[in-house]
Copies of this chain bind each other. A is one copy, B any other.
Amino acid sequence: MIIRIRVAWRVSLGLIGTVLSYLAIPLTFPLMIAIYYGEPVEPFLVTIAATLILAFGMNALSADGDLNVRETFLAVSLIWLLVAIIGAIPFLVAGNGTTAHPINAFFESMSGITTTGATVMLDFNAHTQSIMMWRQLIQWLGGLGILVLATAILSEAGVGGAQLMESETWTTTVNKLTPHIAETARILLGLYAAITVLAVILLYSLHLVGVAPKMTLYNAIAHAFTSVATAGFSPEPTSAEAFSPIVQWALVVCMFVGATSFALIYFVLTGKDFQRFRDNEEFRFYLGTIILATGLVATAVTLDPLTTLKVEETVRHAIFNTVSILTTTGYASTNYDIWSPAAKHILFACMFIGGMVGSTTCSIKALRWLVVIKAFQRELFTTVHPSVVRPIRVSNTPVDEETVRDVYGFVLLSLVLAFGLTVFIVVDAARVGLRVSEFEAMGAAAATFLNIGPAFGRAGPYGSYHAFPATTKTAMILLMWIGRIEIIPVLTLFTRAFWRL
């Protein structure tokens, strides 16, 4: 029997090859850092060579044709997977610290490209400046990738209600002007790069005026990369605690912007349609959840009899860590793992919220929760008033019922997968005799699958995922990948209908 594959996979290879060949360009940045600091250049030369060979091979095997949904999903899934594999090569070739081990290198790289920010490193000093910058840079690239993916691809395919975004702000105007992925990608790259440069300037100027002694140019670039990408790696083992309060406030701004819809930013900056900004319910919801969660965390910390924080510190750390987790960045301005159960549970809940659709944020995202809440309210209403037909509206635009259903499905699937990973972590830890509490496991599962990064306990902000067994790390790698590209594209690959119908 001949199995007929109906997916034009050679077309997918063409897209993958193109993306990989572009990847060689940013790889020259850590190479230059290595040259500047006199560090080994092999990690990057080898990786650039591997990338170009792979890209060349892909292009040789590729065929022309239309990128339909399936070809795109296949390409997207493989791009994230292959870039994670390529991203691991510098760690392996450098061969320092825990990331000399293949599973750890792959974990760190997948955590990077998915903008997760969970680390398996133990001693940060074991690694060179260039390797640490590569770690920061892949997060920035991952942020760019997700911007393009979310705006140009997922919204078109209607993944988990992502079509909402289309009806909302971006594609109806921008994509009609610029109907090709490449053009959309160019606009996004320009905007993203501009915001990143502004972040570098902001952070480094704090250093220059003397209020941020540790925020060198290196650190300014490193933190601009991972804040705007809501990604969260830091070359400092104590993350943002290493910096002065003013730097922490600046990072709050960067994270906040990174998790704001880039379409919205584009509209505000170009002054094209300010009304859209004022009408944007998702933005208000995003801001509202930050204010509410910060207030709850600050209250919980204040009521904690064991707190040693002064009022200014309480407010600053509450805002910083709430924004960090809610935007799915994952920096820490203090070890919030020692906070009370109340404060930690609020942060845990924030993991599931996320920033705005069409930003670099991960997790479920504000827009989906807004739809869920409105749908709940509507269901309560229509149950007692069955004769009333009341469509759900977001930002004055009706949301069609199919989208409501897709959003529900997406949220539910996310919760089920996060729970599944939790159980895996607990059971796997028990198997090898590692003590992992339920809350640690819940946190680690959510923090990897929803691409937050750090969680609590062993996986806490100053901890490391290194201690987890290789099987758990592999499961986390898999779920970081699935979670980052919005679950559905990867899952469809495992259905018969994807390949055969």
Contact = CB atoms under 8 A, between A and B. Distances in A.
Interface string A244-277: 0000000000000000000000000000000000
A157 B497 CA distance: 37
A497 B385 contact: yes
B383 A413 contact: no
A93 interface: no
A409 B376 CA distance: 7
A278 to B, nearest CB: 27
A381 B341 contact: no
Interface string A400-431: 01101110110111010001000100110010
A498 interface: yes
B430 A342 contact: yes
A439 B422 CA distance: 11
A159 B488 contact: no
A474 interface: no
A379 interface: yes
A492 B384 contact: yes
Interface string A59-97: 000000000011001000000000000000000000000
Interface in A172-204: none
Contacts of A439: 438
The copy count of this chain in the complex is 2
A495 B70 contact: no
Contacts of A386: 69, 157-158
A41 interface: no
A126 interface: no
A372 interface: yes
Choose among A438, A492, A495 the residue with the greatest number of B CB atoms under 10 Å from its CB.
A438
Interface in A429-454: 430, 437-439, 442
A490 to B, nearest CB: 10
A375 B437 contact: no
A417 B70 CA distance: 37
Contact of A345 (B340, B401, B409, B423): B423
A164 to B, nearest CB: 15
19 contacts: A69-B383, A69-B386, A73-B384, A157-B383, A158-B383, A340-B430, A341-B427, A379-B409, A379-B488, A380-B488, A380-B491, A380-B497, A383-B488, A384-B498, A404-B405, A408-B409, A411-B412, A412-B412, A415-B415
Given A340-B430, A375-B409, A385-B501, 11 more contacts: A70-B384, A340-B427, A342-B427, A372-B412, A376-B413, A381-B495, A385-B497, A405-B405, A411-B412, A415-B415, A437-B438
The 8 closest A-B pairs by CB, nearest first: A408-B408, A438-B439, A438-B438, A342-B427, A341-B430, A345-B423, A405-B405, A341-B426
